[in-house]
């Protein structure tokens, strides 16, 4: 693996058990990624800088996981036109419904492609599908993964 193509960011270290599964999927598919922890609420400047530099750094998609008020994906999407995939994390009193609604209900023009609560693996598959648009070898890896899945039914 060489250049980093996908960013995986999360709002807290406590999100890591879910979000590290996105990294595992991307590794399996041969997509180089980076993992960062930054809070939309506690470190808004860091989030802004990360989002605005992402395109120039060569990233093709950014996966954002956060729980509760879960503004991270929206805050990143506000700072870039790269595709942003949001993972609502199950935590707190509302078991992820709060994060799901916070992540999915973006205003028109600033989308966040939102996966299921704790759906970090699907976020990684979606990011790989985006990367595969101009990397045929990743498309082949995705097809092989689907065939393997079919064999396991």
The only residue of 5, 9, 12, 126 in contact with ligand RP5, by rule CB under 6 A: 12
39-45 contact pairs (CB < 8 A, 24+): 39/11, 39/12, 39/72, 40/11, 40/66, 40/71, 40/72, 40/74, 40/75, 41/11, 41/69, 41/71, 44/75
The only residue of 60, 66, 115, 124 in contact with ligand RP5, by rule CB under 6 A: 66
**If binding is defined by CB under 6 A, does position 68 make contact with ligand RP5?**
yes
What would the two tokens of residue 10 be? 């999360």
Comparing C-alpha atoms, which of 152, 99, 148, 104 is closest to residue 125? Answer: 148
- Interface pattern 74-103 for ligand RP5 (x via CB under 6 A): ---------------x-x------------
In the complex, the smallest distance separating the C-beta of residue 88 from ligand RP5, rounded to whole angstroms, is 9
**If binding is defined by CB under 6 A, does position 8 make contact with ligand RP5?**
no
Helix (H) or strand (E) holding 54: helix 44-54
Comparing C-alpha atoms, which of 72, 130, 66 is closest to residue 92? Answer: 66
Piece in contact with ligand RP5 (CB under 6 A), picked from 12-20, 102-110, 128-136, 141-149: 12-20
In the complex, the smallest distance separating the C-beta of residue 128 from ligand RP5, rounded to whole angstroms, is 23
Q: In terms of CB distance, is 14 or 81 closer to ligand RP5?
A: 14
In the complex, the smallest distance separating the C-beta of residue 39 from ligand RP5, rounded to whole angstroms, is 6
Token pair 């648009």 is at which residue?
Answer: 133
């Amino acid at each position: 693996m060489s250049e980093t193509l996908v960013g995986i960011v999360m709002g807290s270290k406590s999100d890591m058990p879910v979000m590290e599964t996105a990294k595992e999927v991307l590794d399996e598919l041969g997509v180089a990624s980076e993992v960062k922890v930054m809070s939309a609420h506690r470190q808004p400047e860091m989030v802004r800088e990360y989002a605005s530099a992402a395109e120039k750094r060569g990233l093709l998609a950014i996966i954002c996981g956060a729980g509760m008020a879960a503004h991270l994906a929206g805050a990143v999407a506000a700072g870039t036109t790269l595709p942003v995939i949001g993972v609502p994390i199950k935590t707190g009193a509302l078991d992820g419904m709060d994060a799901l609604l916070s992540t999915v209900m973006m205003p028109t023009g600033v989308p966040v492609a939102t996966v299921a609560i704790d759906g970090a693996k699907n976020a990684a598959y979606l990011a790989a599908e985006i990367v595969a648009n101009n990397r045929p070898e990743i498309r082949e890896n995705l097809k092989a993964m689907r065939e393997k899945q079919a064999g396991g039914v």
